Amino acid sequence: MKIFSISLSLLIVLFSVSSCIEHEVVPPPINTVNLDGSFTGYVNGTQVEFTQNVNSYLGNTSSESFVQPSPLPSRRVYMFEMASPSNPVSIRIKLGALNWDLAANTEPSLTMFNDFNTNASVAAPSYSNGAIAGFEVAYTDNTSRIWLSKQNNPVPQAVAFTNIKQQSDGTGDYSFFECNFSCYVYSLNPQTSLIDSLPIQNGKYRGWFKR
């Protein structure tokens, strides 16, 4: 009986000690996508290179929406650029437009977003002013002068989207891509009132669009 009492006392002590131990709560791992962009290419024969977090260059993405009442299609154009707050030189690309019915969805669904970006890799988009119906390139030079590609250009121009990958995290849904393009960009010369042009050759962009 004495042995039983001692054993019972030990069990009570052990239970009391274990109940006082605070168990560490380990939070679940945070799923984050790797936003790492870059651009290389030749602008007017000079090599240009932008790399994420080098010389303050960062990849930026946004979108423009043109909303219309159903049954007219609403449209969304996606943009990506490499830009720096300390250097005016940048290159931006746009791709559009994703069409959707506002009565069915207030925003394009993830499936629509994925299909839109996948289709761009299956069939090369045409160059389009403002990217309303395809692809547009905008180059900003070291004087902050903006140069734009144009549609229906008799000069040969090309674009190809590859390696489309969709990823999501707590900040949203992303479509990662590689984009190769060559084209001419144009700008009005404020001194001569003539249109000047610059060739962009072997442009290679690695970036993303956000839904």
Has residue 131 got a pLDDT over 50?
yes
Identify the pLDDT of residue 32: 86
pLDDT digits (tens, 9 = 90+) for 69-78: 999 999 999 9
Enumerate the domain spans of the chain.
45-210
* Spatial CA neighbour of 95 closest among 155, 62, 138, 136: 136
Q: Give me the mean pLDDT over the 13-35 stretch.
A: 59
Name residues whose C-beta falls within 8 Å of residue 175's C-beta, 6 or more positions apart in sequence. 113, 114, 117, 164, 165, 166, 208, 209, 210, 211
Task: Check if the beta carbon of residue 97 is closer than 8 Å to that of residue 66.
Answer: yes
* Spatial CA neighbour of 74 closest among 132, 117, 121, 2: 132
Could you tell me the pTM of the whole model?
Answer: 0.84
Has residue 9 got a pLDDT over 80?
no
**pLDDT mean across residues, the chain:** 90
Has residue 122 got a pLDDT over 60?
yes
Distance, CA of 23 to chain centre: 41
Percent of the chain with pLDDT over 90: 84
Has residue 25 got a pLDDT over 70?
no
